[in-house]
Structure 1
Amino acid sequence: MQIIHEITDIDISNLLIIAIDIEHGKSDLLRFEVGVAVLDTSKLHTVTRKKKLILTRSFCVGERLFRRDVTKKFKFGMSELIRLDELEPALKSVVSNRKFALVFHDRRLDVEFLERLQVNLKPDYLFDTSYSAKKMLGSTQSLRLADLAKHFVGLDIPQPAKFFHNAGNDANTTLRVFLMLIVLELSTTAAIDEPMLRALRQIAQQPISGLEPYSIPHFHPKPNPPKQNLEEKRKRRREKHERKALMKEWKEPLKAQKVADKLAATRKAMLTKARM
């Protein structure tokens, strides 16, 4: 992919901003997840409910159980199970032939993984929130996404392990961090669109609803049976013993008859043998 752009290079008036995050093993091309978060800046002035503007999707390549586990952690819907050869078309369908910026957090591993899959999205802009944040803060240290989310967005996740390192959640967070970096960077320039920056800030700082694990709709646990009172339990136990006693009483004559028949047959066989 191309070189990293500076935030001041961007024209955000009519642009798709797409954040991508990938969670995968070191050499696993058959089991991984890709998170995509998209903001269409052309809708900033026309849509009143700003929290609906970020579209977040999660794609899983692998078995159904893997998709189920990813979905449990994903806070923005259900993960979509796709085949490996469907990944590039799925990502390109998000782009929709629009001018777009591609955003990563600490891009190297994700970009290398996409290149191994031969997925070429050809963005108009390429950004890395880790690079931009380090430059803005004057830091040389590696910056975690959770720390940037807390510092720039005010997003303090109470149980980070249940939220981060899920591709969909991380893509959504990366996009929010990038929006705040845009706000902070462009607010110092001479030609600023204040309503645009206010809208970006509002979107970035929207609270995330439902930080409990997402429950899969098709899973319905069986309800516990109603508890029986003590008297009813005793009655059922008594009836059970009575049934057993009746069965025993009914079977005893049959057993005795079988034994008698067997003895008679044995005696008859012995007499027949003696006569011969």
Structure 2
Amino acid sequence: MIIPLRDETLVLRKLLGYSAASSLIPTIGTDYDDSDDLLLAGSLMWDVLFVGIDVDTTEGYEELIPDQQFHIGFSLLDTRDLHSLVSATPEAKLDIIRSHQFTIGTSKYCKKAALRFLFGESEQLNSPEQVAVRFASLVPADRNVVYVAHGAKADLRVLVNCGITRRPIYTIDTVKAAQTPLQLTYRYSLEALLDRFGIPYKYLHAAGNDAHFCLRAMLMLAVVDGEQYQQPRLTSKSKLNDSDRLFSVLRSIAQAPRPLSKHEIEAPLKEEEMAHRLELKRAAKELRRAKRAAKTERRRLERESRSQDKAEEDDISGKPESESKSSSLF
């Protein structure tokens, strides 16, 4: 059974500029058209800011109850940076996804979430309203925004509950976006997508990590779709629209090595510290052994010295003490 094209796949083609069949692509947003004003200069790529979103909580998504603990992640991928990277040298820096994690809860809860976050320092907040403030500081008001999430409905509900009212021009749910390129009749988990695409990951269900890896998965979905199912491209605008270069860059970003976790960074230091402590213990043990051996040798020498002194005294008196006692009996 052939899975029909979903809107998410068609929108990816339009936003990243690797399909010329614009007539097949659904309208994005309500206030936008297909004019060249939306394109980056010298490219078929749209001028948009992808915002990966994830929320992790055990207390429900539909409403935020008082004192609810949760962590929320935002990851940003700017097509301006992506376009620059496509036109740059192959050695250009690939880490253009900026990731953030915010936590609300007890110190213990926030510390645990922070230790699992791979892409920087997690920030503890005091209220959901502060999440909206931090979101506004990260996402410029004058940019066209596209939300990206894996199972987006619940995450978007939490955004509303935090007071984030920013309307994206489109929301890409990678659960749905995966179905056409991978010809799936069922829904992949984020972990399954990452495994399928060879994307290195660790500590899923830390919101900042999931938001980041969701963007990486989206890029690989574009690669698979572009390499296997793409419509003929328009290449007359610029050599920067070369599909091979575009897909190579997307793949390189998606499959780039992940950062080491805090535990992985600290582990070698702890091993080195333990090795140093063991060496100190061995040295102390050897020192104690040497001291005992020296003490034993000193006592042996003292006994030998006393015996030798006694023998010399006997020689000086001319006869052994036993003989002297025997003579006194007569």
Please say whether Structure 1 and Structure 2 have the same fold, judged by a TM-score greater than 0.5.
yes
Correspondences of 1:131-170 after superposition (within 5 Å) = 131-151=176-196, 153-155=197-199, 157=201, 163-170=203-210
Letter in 1 for 2:191: A
Q: 2:50 corresponds to which residue? A: 17
C-alpha distance in 2 between matches for 1:124 and 1:189: 23
- C-alpha change, 1:82 and 1:214, in structure 2 (3 Å) is farther
Aligned to 1:65: 108
Indicate yes or no: 2:182 matched with 1:180.
Answer: no
Give the Cα–Cα distance (whole angstroms) in 2 for the partners of residues 15 and 94 of structure 1.
14
Q: Is the 8 A contact 1:22 1:167 kept in 2?
A: yes
2:162 maps to a residue whose letter is: L
Q: 1:96 to 1:156 in 2, by over 3 A?
A: closer
- The code of the aligned residue for 2:102 comes to F
TM-score, normalised to structure 2's length?
0.59
1:26 positional shift: 2.4
Letter in 1 for 2:146: A
Q: Where do 1:85-104 residues align within 5 Å?
A: 85-97=129-141, 98-104=143-149
Give 5+ residue unaligned stretches, structure 1.
Answer: 236-276
Alpha-carbon displacement from aligned partner over 1:175-199 (angstroms, at most 9, x marks no partner): 0011111223344122263233332
Q: 1:71 Cα shift? A: 1.7
Counterpart-to-counterpart distance in 2, 1:92 and 1:231: 64
Cα deviations across residues 203-232 of structure 1 (Å, max 9, x unaligned)? 11112131563668xxx9999695444876
Distance 1:35 1:214, change over 3 A: farther
Write the mapping of 1:102-117 to structure 2, written as runs, cut at 5 A. 102-117=147-162
Classify the secondary structure of the residue corresponding to 1:123.
Answer: coil
Deviations 1:124-169 (A, max 9, x none): 1111000111233333323110111111x31255xxxx51111111
1:6 partner letter: E
Give unmatched runs, 5+ long, in structure 2: 1-5, 17-44, 235-240, 292-330
| Residue deviations 1:218-269 (CA, integer Å, cap 9, x gap) | xx99996954448769x9xxxxxxxxxxxxxxxxxxxxxxxxxxxxxxxxxx
Q: Distance in 2 between matches of 1:26 and 1:67?
A: 15
Tell me if the contact between 2:9 and 2:180 (Cα under 8 Å) persists in the aligned partners.
no
Contact persistence 1:72–1:215 (CA under 8 A): no
Partner of 1:44: 82
Instruction: Confirm or deny: 8 A CA contact 2:151 2:173 kept in the other structure.
Output: yes
Residues 1:213 and 2:263 aligned together: yes
Contact 1:99–1:123, Cα closer than 8 Å, also in 2: yes
| Structure 2 SS opposite 1:203 | helix
User: Which is higher, the Rg of structure 1 or of structure 2?
Assistant: 2
Change in Cα spacing, 1:229 to 1:99, as seen in structure 2 (3 Å) is same
Q: In structure 2, do the counterparts of structure 1 residues 232 and 108 end up closer, same or farther at CA, with 3 Å as the change threshold?
A: same
Deviation at 1:44, TM superposition (A): 2.3
Residues 61 and 82 of structure 1 are in contact (CA less than 8 Å); yes or no, is this contact kept in structure 2? yes
Query: Contact 1:5/1:125 (CA < 8 Å) preserved in 2?
Result: no
CA drift of 1:80 comes to 0.8
- How far, CA to CA, are the matches of 2:257 and 2:114 in structure 1? 20
The alpha carbon displacement at 1:30 in A equals 2.9
Q: Report how far residue 45 of structure 1 moved.
A: 4.1
| Higher alpha-carbon deviation: 65-74 or 130-139 | 130-139
Q: Distance in 2 between matches of 1:145 and 1:7?
A: 17
CA contact (8 A) 2:56 2:71 kept: yes
Give the letter for the 1:11 counterpart.
L
Question: Whole-Å Cα distance in 1 between the matches of residues 194 and 151 of structure 2?
Answer: 14
8 A Cα contact 2:200 2:258, kept in partner = no
TM-score w.r.t. length of structure 1: 0.70
Change (3 A) 1:33 1:232: same
2:72 equivalent in structure 1 = 34
Q: 1:63 to 1:231 in 2, by over 3 A?
A: same
